[in-house]
Structure 1
């Protein structure tokens, strides 16, 4: 059994924990990241290989500012972490969700004819438009998370994979994290464990919900690569998000429907009913040119949601300093690099320059 001492420990190296570790290391904080599996594994808050990134959102200028900062950090990573292909919102021109993202000076709005010429995989109906966010893009989840952790290592952070934190306590004004290999003692801790481990039960009011994704073959994959088929949202019924064919064969569809509550990770079963897509696959396929109605891949996973459907970056009310992250409900990859910098501010000063994710909220006891 060994005892290691650092200024800050980050528990959980998903995208939010990895971003926090990188920001802390770049700020000169002595830090270690503890991950129960291998960095970049798909078994936590998942969603297939890719995530959508957009900066045109209807949530207000402070959200846009954080997304611009996240994009700056994403595009600075090497490899296939970020593909700058833009992001789309497609739907009726008078749909409030479409109008909310048609931000002057940030997006362009195309009618059905112009959209079909530019993105031949899409079929827009009369009265619909396609809103292009040119700063949007596609994030490849595994490479992105691994790139963040690699940069954190280069900036001086220590990383311990296959290390499960079994409990958290306090000793002489410091945080103590207990693992099978020994103890990590820190002046502050960041808890970014998602649904995998609840080290401080009841602190964050986050519900776990089941989400299902489906992959459909396409006749001409060249029409559905990222350059010709950016990721996006279709607001017309059935509402769904769509993702390019990164495997050269299938597009990913997330049919937007109520997600059942999962009371614990143990309740979640990855097997999806064979007829899951039967009622909506046909209407969705008619939105695209050459997409099959028969899925070849279906996956189920768990996401954390707050009542307000926005993530929380919470500062614990007990000393020493504990920062908790949760409830980003599929938005984590969009905001993660900027959120990491907010976390580093909270760890170092107890304050934050942004109120978007309730960063000054004292919770727990």
Structure 2
């Protein structure tokens, strides 16, 4: 992808602002639908500051407790992720482990999509985990692991190959209405568009009340392990432990460390410009012993701790919504850590809204109406 400057006054059918995982998916779907479109990214695609690059890896599941419509979207996303750049998606399954009767564990068990294992079978199958006698394991065999930055770059690259323009290092300063069209003001000039997709993530929303998305800091820790071979994706798929403490775990991708997300309340932030990657001393001390009682062979302290910014919508539902009046502005974001699961299918929803004003599903809606 070679960034190029906008002309002083450029005209396109649709401009996508923000090329994180959701914006990249929207740009790809628009390009494949034959829409003249340009994607604008203020930094570089796959940068580590926000949810689309931070944290290195993401869990992908095809089984959620939200019903058939969500399952259909997840199946579509898996199809598209599987067709993406080799290495972006590792089909190793996804796991939930916890005490029998735990509500979160029960919610992960979807008949026909998951298998449920007792403690003995789980301990034998995943020796990197310490399984308790009262545990049950729910395994989603069609789940897997996504390389966050690589997957995000794959979407933007596929969009470019399908005919979209992809520009990095272009900051959109504002969006205004002019004679029935939308004008994006950038540091390189103006872009006039019939429709705009706002997928700005932790950046400014550009229009008042365009999302209702709250930005929060997410802190992740990487631990060296005694036997790295035991923690490769095939024998240690990504997953969640639901019973005391609650945390998610990820296989080694560097051959040496396992990522742990201790699911603790995280403070809000105004965005990446207000976010400092510094993590307070002793952050991991209160929860490391509990994690060590569940994962074998972890070192006593993390090798590294990093943080990034992620968008959360009210009710932890993603927002995909359209302005009430033309010209069309679609806002998308706030998937609360679920964006990588749904992004390719959500991109197609966004493309439908841009092209027809209608969506093929009502699975995601506005938490806060878009202005306009």
TM-score computed with the length of structure 2 as normaliser: 0.95
Partner of 1:221: 228
Show the 5 A alignment for 1:220-299: 220-299=227-306
Would you say the 8 A contact 2:319–2:364 is kept in 1?
yes
What is the rounded CA distance, in whole Å, between the counterparts of 2:369 and 2:359 in structure 1? Answer: 13
Q: Per the alignment, in what secondary structure is the counterpart of residue 230 of structure 2?
A: helix
Partner of 2:18: 12
Would you say the 8 A contact 1:112–1:123 is kept in 2?
no
Partner of 2:350: 343
Would you say the 8 A contact 2:205–2:211 is kept in 1?
no
1:134 to 126, 133, 141: 141
Q: Per the alignment, in what secondary structure is the counterpart of residue 364 of structure 1?
A: coil
Partner of 2:43: 37
Q: Per the alignment, in what secondary structure is the counterpart of residue 20 of structure 1?
A: helix
Count of residue pairs brought into register by the alignment: 365
What is the rounded CA distance, in whole Å, between the counterparts of 2:278 and 2:110 in structure 1? Answer: 40
Partner of 2:163: 156
What is the rounded CA distance, in whole Å, between the counterparts of 2:45 and 2:312 in structure 1? Answer: 23
Gaps of 5+ in 1: none
Partner of 2:321: 314
What is the rounded CA distance, in whole Å, between the counterparts of 2:147 and 2:317 in structure 1? Answer: 22
Quote how far apart the aligned CAs of 1:298 are. Answer: 0.4
Asked if 1:203 corresponds to 2:210, the answer is yes
TM-score computed with the length of structure 1 as normaliser: 0.97
What is the rounded CA distance, in whole Å, between the counterparts of 1:93 and 1:101 in structure 2? Answer: 12
Would you say the 8 A contact 1:315–1:360 is kept in 2?
no
Gaps of 5+ in 2: 1-6
Deviation readout 1:83-141 (Å, 9 max, x if unpaired):
00000000012111111121111111111221121111011101101111001000001
Quote how far apart the aligned CAs of 1:318 are. Answer: 3.5
What is the rounded CA distance, in whole Å, between the counterparts of 1:285 and 1:53 in structure 2? Answer: 24
Q: Per the alignment, in what secondary structure is the counterpart of residue 289 of structure 1?
A: coil
Would you say the 8 A contact 1:315–1:361 is kept in 2?
no
Q: Per the alignment, in what secondary structure is the counterpart of residue 316 of structure 2?
A: coil
Asked if 1:190 corresponds to 2:220, the answer is no
Quickly say closer, same or farther: Cα 1:195–1:201, change in 2 above 3 A: farther
Partner of 1:64: 71
